[in-house]
Structure 1
Amino acid sequence: MKRHWWNGSMTLLVIRDADQAVKQVSVSKMLVVSVPIAAVISISGLFLAMQWKSTAHIQELQGQVTSQTMALDVTVKDKDEAIRLLKNEVIRLSSQAESVKDRLEQMSSLEKQLQQFVEGYIAPSDASKHSAMLSAPSQSSGWNERIQVGGEDIEASTDQILNLANRSRIDLKQVSDMLNTMQRSVPTTLKQAQNRQSTIAGTPSIWPTKSRRITSSFGYRQDPMHGRAAFHAGLDIGGELGDPVYAAADGKVIEAGFQPARGNYIVIRHVNQLDTWYMHLQSILIDVNDTVAKGDHIAKLGNTGRSTGPHLHFQIVQRGEPIDPFPYVRNALYETASSKKSIPTPLIRTRRSSEPLMSLSTRADSYPIYQS
């Protein structure tokens, strides 16, 4: 029977010191061979395990890196989109800032024109025309700014966007300054305009009755009752009994009643110490202390008191002195005539054919004043 080599044994001599005995250790050949092999296998297994674990860890790290890279790509794309949107927003806000600045400059210009109008330097028609001119483009241009556009598609750089944002910041600062200025000035101008409006509304300016026939003007004349020279303190306007009589301006009724010479009469107090008098009325439609507006129907034309026929004696008194009312209502007389597509010559009877002309330089207090 053949004997295998691993069935034998090996003897190891262990010599420790010279004076000590030699020891013999018998070791199986199988053990001598299997121990190194087992060690090699163990080390190899450990190495393979470590390599596998490292590979798995590397793959895990690679997966994480890939995920992070993808997330970063998404983030970068989101940031790019956000930057693009921010650029567009900066451009839009810059455009709006310029538009608001332009509109505020227009409003500031209108505010200055309003100030000038209030101070009496320009006519209101000029300001209204300018206002219409400024507002016309937005109403009548008729084009859609989102459709009718064109040009090359050149992306704006970051520096350009930053410059645009800086200009927009400056524009908005200017807008803020303009708003602060207007906030301080507009209330004052508005108050002045309101005062001016009250003054205009309270100044006699409309024709006080339906008829336009002037039968006697303001000034010296020969009295129709006794023929003596006398001062006529108002305008006599001939008409029909019952014709409406209108308030020539906003005001407050301070007198309303009857007096032998004046007949039924009304006195209205206005601004600038002006009073308007309406005499020889058929009837009175308002009471003392009533507030009236320009153009209100206040009475009916009549023939009461010291009168030779149906007419309205219209008189303006300032600070207690009668003044010529015709300059106040002249425009209303001619505007009314013009609206009828003809401009008739006002029928002004200052004297009879047999009456002498009185010198306008003669003092009023040299003659008695008659109100007829």
Structure 2
Amino acid sequence: MRFIWGKKEFTLMIIPGANRRTVRFKLPHSSLYIVPSVILLVLIGFFVTIYLMNTYSHQTKDNMQRTFDGQERQLVNQITLKDNELEQLQANLIDLSQQADEFKLKLEEIKKLEHVIQLMSQSEEPNRTSKKLSALSESAYGSDVGGTEVPVTSQEVTALVSSTKQGLSALVGDINTLLINLSESEARLKEADYLRSITPTLWPVMTHSLTSGFGVRRDPFTGKPSMHTGLDLDGEINDAVYATASGKVIEASFDNEFGNRIIVDHTRGIQTGYMHLNKILVKRGESVTKGQKIGLLGSTGRSTGSHLHYEVQKNRVPVDPTPYLITNRKDER
């Protein structure tokens, strides 16, 4: 190949060999500058492209690295947070387990109180407290005084969760049973307290000196046998006379035989009578409480001296008051 220069153009000859035809190319003289310029521009464009691609690649890599680092930090923070939350949940679980054990002890105290209420109510019914309300052991978690720090395993946490769940489920059943028993015991206690309040167990006067008992005796006026329907209790004029049980005054008047008299109805067929009073301190229809002062001892009506004729009637039939007089203090309830 050789060049043949001319004024305005040059010829490019390609001689492939001795036996082949020569190939000529005529190129303008200006192509001598244009072709290298084009090649140079192509090379410059190529290197600029390589540079831009390399720069973009580095930027992309940096962006990806920063994104990865941010996600990694976020993930680490989330893992740390979850670990802290897990530790807090484990601590709360331990506290809950301890509180459940402490509640068991309180429940045992309430059971004892329920037993006391049953005794106070003097119920003859058998104790129907559920057998599963057995004596509870003390808390497995005592005072923390130290020890080696050993991380708990997931199996241990699972076992604690299961144990606490079973304990709380048992507590719910125990509480429901206890509430039923307490309600029944409270009802029995109220009933027993009401029965005690309406049962005439108090002495109607401070002195316990009997001048005449219940039953057949010689009449002090006629000397003939007669039925004495109550007790004659000795005393001084204007000694206090007390209601032997709570009830309602159904009679507060003067009677030729019994003088100034008070009759109190205590419901359930029980009535008490206070005769020969010097003064009546209550009115008919008035409610009185056990131990309340209702009159003053005297000798009115058919009487030979100061005393209180005291009667107890059951379904309007006089009965011996002696078995009822079991309480010495007038303020005993």
TM-score, structure 2 normalization: 0.79
Which residue number in structure 1 is paired with residue 81 of structure 2? 78
The one of 143, 146, 149 equivalent to 1:151 is 146
Q: Contact conserved, 2:264 with 2:271, CA < 8 A, in 1?
A: yes
For 1:214 and 1:151, locate their aligned partners in 2 and report how far apart those are by CA, in whole Å: 74
Which residue number in structure 2 is paired with residue 39 of structure 1? 42
Which residue number in structure 1 is paired with residue 66 of structure 2? 63
Gaps of 5+ in 1: 1-8, 123-133, 135-144, 337-372
The Cα shift of 1:226 comes to 3.7
Distance 1:243 1:156, change over 3 A: farther
The one of 216, 219, 233 equivalent to 2:215 is 219
The Cα shift of 1:264 comes to 0.6
The one of 190, 200, 206 equivalent to 2:202 is 206
- Percent of pairs with identical residues: 31
Q: Which amino acid aligns with 1:91?
A: I
The Cα shift of 1:106 comes to 3.9
May I ask how many residue pairs the two structures share in their alignment?
303
Q: Work out whether 1:312 is the aligned partner of 2:308.
A: yes
For 1:161 and 1:294, locate their aligned partners in 2 and report how far apart those are by CA, in whole Å: 62
For 1:244 and 1:299, locate their aligned partners in 2 and report how far apart those are by CA, in whole Å: 6
Which residue number in structure 1 is paired with residue 297 of structure 2? 301
SS in 2 for 1:231: strand
Name which of structure 1's ranges 269-278 and 212-221 shifts more when overlaid on structure 2. Answer: 212-221
TM-score, structure 1 normalization: 0.71
Which residue number in structure 2 is paired with residue 247 of structure 1? 243
Q: Contact conserved, 2:12 with 2:26, CA < 8 A, in 1?
A: yes
The Cα shift of 1:22 comes to 4.1
Which residue number in structure 1 is paired with residue 106 of structure 2? 103
Gaps of 5+ in 2: 1-8, 126-134, 136-140
Once the two structures are superposed, the pairs formed by residues 246-285 of structure 1 within 5 Å of their partners are 246-285=242-281
Q: Which amino acid aligns with 1:259?
A: D
Distance 1:65 1:215, change over 3 A: same
Over aligned residues, Cα RMSD in angstroms? 3.2
Which residue number in structure 1 is paired with residue 121 of structure 2? 118
SS in 1 for 2:325: helix
| Cα-to-partner distance string for 1:152-207 (whole Å, 9 max, x where unaligned) | 14443332222222222222222222333344444343333222221111101222
Which residue number in structure 1 is paired with residue 287 of structure 2? 291
For 1:261 and 1:46, locate their aligned partners in 2 and report how far apart those are by CA, in whole Å: 139
The Cα shift of 1:286 comes to 1.4
Q: Which amino acid aligns with 2:26?
A: Q
SS in 2 for 1:257: strand
SS in 2 for 1:261: coil
For 1:237 and 1:71, locate their aligned partners in 2 and report how far apart those are by CA, in whole Å: 97
Q: Which amino acid aligns with 2:145?
A: G
Q: Say which structure, 1 or 2, has more relative contact order (CA 8 Å, 6+ apart).
A: 1
Which residue number in structure 2 is paired with residue 24 of structure 1? 26
For 1:204 and 1:13, locate their aligned partners in 2 and report how far apart those are by CA, in whole Å: 152
For 2:210 and 2:286, locate their aligned partners in 1 and report how far apart those are by CA, in whole Å: 29
